[in-house]
Structure 1
Amino acid sequence: MSAVPNEAVGPLVGGDAGTAPEALMRRIHEEYRAPLLRFLTRLLLGQQELAEDLVQETFLRTWRHLNTLAADPQRIAPWLYTVARHVAIDALRARQSRPPEVSIPDLNRLTSPEDEMERVVSTHTVRLALQQISPEHRAVLIEMYYRGTSVAEAAQRLGIPEGTVKSRTYYAVRALHAAIGSMEST
């Protein structure tokens, strides 16, 4: 890094001829960190962590161009906001060009098909959860998943329209999932 001439640093920091470039950078950081963070957070629609990272990137670029900024202190604020905006645009473009991140299941939790104990625990958990949902939901789940009937057959056996079977199945699966989730969290 090349050093910033002291005479250029002096007017912004208070005229001290012995002031180092680090003092100028410290002053810029103290004065503009919070406003830049607010600006980037708004620009990024509330993504606080990303905004904090981009503020740091902006200050890194500021350090690299400190000679230019020290020569004309009136340009510091507009320059910082322009750089921050460009850094945000670059970050958003980079995120769009990458494929979305997917979570990989924990392979240590996956069971093998021949794991008898896991099958027993799963069966017991589902039975307990079935008792927690409404009788209408339980009946449609038993027809559709336990007996393996079609929507038309389930509708005929339960004496309700096919659309109701589909609707109840959807909400019954959600209710069963919620019941199982509440049992696992305790």
Structure 2
Amino acid sequence: MTTSISRPSASASCDGSVRELYERHHGPLLRYTCGLLRGDRQRAEDFVQETLLRAWLSTEEQPPGWSPSRAWLFRVAHNLVIDWMRREQARPEYHPELLEAHAEPVDPIGQAVQRCFLVHALSRLSPAHREVLFYVYVLGWTGPDAAHALSIPPGTVKSRTHHAIRELRRRHPEHALVAA
């Protein structure tokens, strides 16, 4: 399957101006973006290509004879790089080896005791409260999703969850599973 980009209404002079734009600004834009990216030339090439593509596509929206200025091109390239950097910073890096190094040791006996306690504590709740806790905490569903699955209003899910946890805390204030 071939994907094509619809070009602005291009004449031979438009193609020539795009070629001239590339030849005049490719090198300086590449050096600038490569500097912003601390030497990542391959990524810098991508940003220069995107910048020149945007310049080419914007010629259709401008009056005849318009050509993007050097400052405009550098601003577009700068904004593309900064937007990418912000997106990258928003995604934390995942290091599983750090998680394993700081993981708490597994205590199978303690886990078994907690499971027994939890089963016993939950058995003392009403079926409606148990069901809501199951969907929200065991399955990890959102309130609206649990409400849809249970055919009840979302407010009822919130209310039942609140009352179930309050009841668990009231009956077992000493246990960590029901602490605030």
TM, length-normalised to structure 2: 0.43
TM, length-normalised to structure 1: 0.42
Larger RCO, structures 1/2 (Cα 8 Å, 6+ apart): 1
